[in-house]
């Protein structure tokens, strides 16, 4: 049984982020039976447009067209309106969770997971996607996407801030851990990025209330994730996702705040029953020894390569790779091509033919893939 205080916190945080009561998203669609209609092509296109907008850090060069950043506020608005007025669709709820994490960090996770759980409990027989022989597989793939595609986003959520206001994330902590090991083994010269000491100092500067709130947000999110997994298990049986990757990232982040609260002599929240982690091997002894005792770093493990189970997981991993590549080298067109390939992979043969040959005439323009205007289009705008 999920704690009622946790539910109240999650629903209140969700309502504050979306600007509407939580229960409004669960209410039946007026004038529609069951779960209403699936997200229309227009809704899906609009959300994808704002999710895959161009990166403003790219050099414009000869192109004068204005690039747009992903607009997560707009995605939240579109998703909420779709769930309230159009129909209950798990893919829309997953995109809403993604947008909320981008905008509100760890505080948004519990509410987004709670919404998906309640939708499954209340509308499972009618919720979208539905109507095909592979209905349950398609639903399961959405939750596999949450596990694989949203985990890298969690690694980019700010945990603390440096003296100049620069955000430090879990990815920075993991990078610092690797760098400390390299320094100890003389495997490299100067390495870029903050050191473990820098990150520990930033975490030590976090206010007591903020540190406790972050730890509680992650504890709530882990409890909600466990509850969602419990709800899905009897409904999806062997197709139910493990959520091990998603839970593992949150456990790492929570471990940082737990250690900091313990260092300060402050209370921590009780741990929920853990979700089994993805297959992993322990860190090498020399790597563990390379971490200085006075530097607080997460105890990370390296996951063993696992066999890809199906097409949906393969394309989710492509999207994850595209997100990493775009952060690593924002000037490269490669992540845009990888992401577009993942999008095409979700189309059936007829839809792919329509997209590639009828709409595009068999040609793929790099400007279009990257969200840029061609030089000719830019001139026309002028």
The neighbouring-strand residues paired with 158 are 169
Quote the tokens at residue 5.
């205080």
Q: How far apart are CA 172 and CA 253, in angstroms?
A: 11
Q: How far apart are CA 150 and CA 12, in angstroms?
A: 22
Q: Are 96 and 76 in contact (CB under 8 A)?
A: yes
Quote the tokens at residue 350.
């007829």
Quote the tokens at residue 6.
């946790």
**What are the sequence ranges of the domains in the chain?**
1-149, 156-299, 312-382
Q: How far apart are CA 285 and CA 289, in angstroms?
A: 6
The tens place of each residue's pLDDT in the chain, 382 residues long, gives: 788 999 999 999 999 999 999 999 999 999 888 899 999 999 999 999 898 754 444 444 444 455 568 899 999 999 999 999 999 999 999 999 999 999 999 999 999 999 999 999 999 999 999 867 678 889 999 999 999 999 999 999 999 998 888 999 999 988 888 777 666 665 555 556 778 888 889 999 999 999 999 999 999 999 999 999 999 999 998 889 989 999 999 999 999 999 999 999 988 766 555 565 554 333 333 333 322 223 333 333 333 344 566 676 677 778 778 777 766 666 677 877 888 787 777 777 777 667 767 666 666 666 565 555 444 544 444 4
The neighbouring-strand residues paired with 168 are 160
Q: How far apart are CA 88 and CA 207, in angstroms?
A: 40
Burial letters for 332-342: b for 16+ Cβ neighbours within 10 Å, e otherwise? eeebbbbbbeb
């Amino acid at each position: 049984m999920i704690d009622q205080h946790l539910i109240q916190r999650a629903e209140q945080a969700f309502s504050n982020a979306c600007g509407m009561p939580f229960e409004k998203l669960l209410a039946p669609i007026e004038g529609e039976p069951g779960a209403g209609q699936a997200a229309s092509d227009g809704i899906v296109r609009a959300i994808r447009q704002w999710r895959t907008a161009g990166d403003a850090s790219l050099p414009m060069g000869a192109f004068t067209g204005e690039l747009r950043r992903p607009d997560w506020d707009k995605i939240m608005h579109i998703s909420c309106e779709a769930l309230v007025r159009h129909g209950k669709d798990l893919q829309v709820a997953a995109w809403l969770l993604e947008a909320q994490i981008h905008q509100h960090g760890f505080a948004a996770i519990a509410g987004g997971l709670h919404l998906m759980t309640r939708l499954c409990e209340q509308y499972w027989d009618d919720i979208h996607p539905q109507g095909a022989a592979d209905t349950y597989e398609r639903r399961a793939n959405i939750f596999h996407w949450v596990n694989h595609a949203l985990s890298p986003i969690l690694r980019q959520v700010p945990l603390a801030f440096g003296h100049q206001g620069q955000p430090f994330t879990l990815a920075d902590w993991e990078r610092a851990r690797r760098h400390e090991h390299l320094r100890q083994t003389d495997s490299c010269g100067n390495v870029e990025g903050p050191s473990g000491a820098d990150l520990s100092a930033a975490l030590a500067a976090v206010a007591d209330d903020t540190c406790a709130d972050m730890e509680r947000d992650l504890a709530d999110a882990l409890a909600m994730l466990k509850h969602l997994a419990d709800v899905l298990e009897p409904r999806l049986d062997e197709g139910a996702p493990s959520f091990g990757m998603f839970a593992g990232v949150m456990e790492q982040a929570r471990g940082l705040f737990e250690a900091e609260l313990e260092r300060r002599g402050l209370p921590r929240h009780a741990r929920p029953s853990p979700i089994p982690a993805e297959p992993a091997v322990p860190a090498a002894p020399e790597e563990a020894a390379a971490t200085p005792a006075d530097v607080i770093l997460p105890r990370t493990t390296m996951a063993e390569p696992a066999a890809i189970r199906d097409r949906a997981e393969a394309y989710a991993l492509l999207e994850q790779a595209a997100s990493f590549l775009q952060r690593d080298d924002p000037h490269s067109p490669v992540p845009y091509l990888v992401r577009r390939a993942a999008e095409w992979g979700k189309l059936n043969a007829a839809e792919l033919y329509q997209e590639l040959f009828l709409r595009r005439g068999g040609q793929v323009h790099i400007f279009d893939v990257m969200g840029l205007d061609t030089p000719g289009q830019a001139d026309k705008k002028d």
